[in-house]
Amino acid sequence: MSEFTLTAEVGRTLGSSATRRLRREGKIPGVVYGHGTDPIAVAVAGSDLRVALNGEAGTNQLLELDTGSEKLLVLAKVLQRHPVRGNLTHVDFQITGRDETVTVDVAVVLTGDAVEVRHADGNVDQQLFNVTVKARPGAIPTSLELDISAMVPGDVLRVSDLTFPEGVVADNDPEAAIAIAHAGRTAGNEGDDGEVVEEAEAVEAEEES
């Protein structure tokens, strides 16, 4: 993963009035921390930050902050948004290194067509939409795919069923359910079918507890 360069203004004035002025100018206030350094107050262009974080890597995009006096390799760890408008209001940047291991959330994307589930008038319920992984910044995957094509009613796919790229490991419980296949309400609820449906429902109840 290549980094996206952002120009960062250092030494911004703190306080609510100064922060509002920055936002009126289209800038996002932020703070840079990590590697034992004192927190650094910065401001970056809102339009540039949106472009950086709206790419394929999303919020896991590796960023290079150019402060004028130095260039810092960072990740946007905390994004604060306006509760109504949803626009970015503040960002925390964490300093990292290319050879460091970082912990981030990666989206899980279900692929394929669960034909047997569909024929049973059922559905596949996604329980987990993100998985926490540990990896070097350059090895962070943009997403993790999980094929549901072979699922039948009652099947459960878990974190342990994911395939991770080299150098990437899950930080979740490997038994955590990602997808559960349910039969339709009109499908057979007796015998084996009933047992697998009850098993899937038990797994779902356990995940929610």
> Average pLDDT, whole number, for the chain?
87
Per-residue pLDDT, 190: 45
89 in the same domain as 118: no
Domain boundary among 67, 97, 127: 97
Domain containing 71 equals 4-97
107 in the same domain as 180: yes
Weakest-pLDDT range from 78-87, 159-168, 182-191: 182-191
CB 200 within 8 A of CB 184: no
Per-residue pLDDT, 68: 87
In the structure, what pLDDT confidence band is assigned to residue 36 with cuts at 50, 70 and 90? confident
Domain boundary among 31, 62, 97: 97
Res 186 pLDDT > 80: no
73 in the same domain as 53: yes
pTM, rounded to two decimals: 0.76
196 in the same domain as 158: yes
End-to-end C-alpha distance for the chain, whole angstroms:
37
Domain boundary among 97, 128, 154: 97
145 in the same domain as 183: yes
Provide the 3-class DSSP secondary structure of residue 176: coil
- CATH number at 91 reads 2.40.240.10
Tell me the average pLDDT across 168-193.
80
123 in the same domain as 68: no
Give the H or E element holding residue 180. Answer: strand 177-182
Partners of 155 in the beta sheet? none
| Backbone angles phi and psi of 178, in degrees to 5 | -100, -45
Per-residue pLDDT, 120: 94
Res 160 pLDDT > 80: yes
158 in the same domain as 91: no
Res 24 pLDDT > 90: no
- CATH number at 132 reads 2.170.120.20
Give the H or E element holding residue 141. Answer: none
Q: How many domains does the chain have?
A: 2
10 in the same domain as 80: yes
Per-residue pLDDT, 200: 57
| 67-119 per-position pLDDT tens digit | 988 999 999 999 998 888 888 889 999 999 989 999 999 999 999 999 999 99
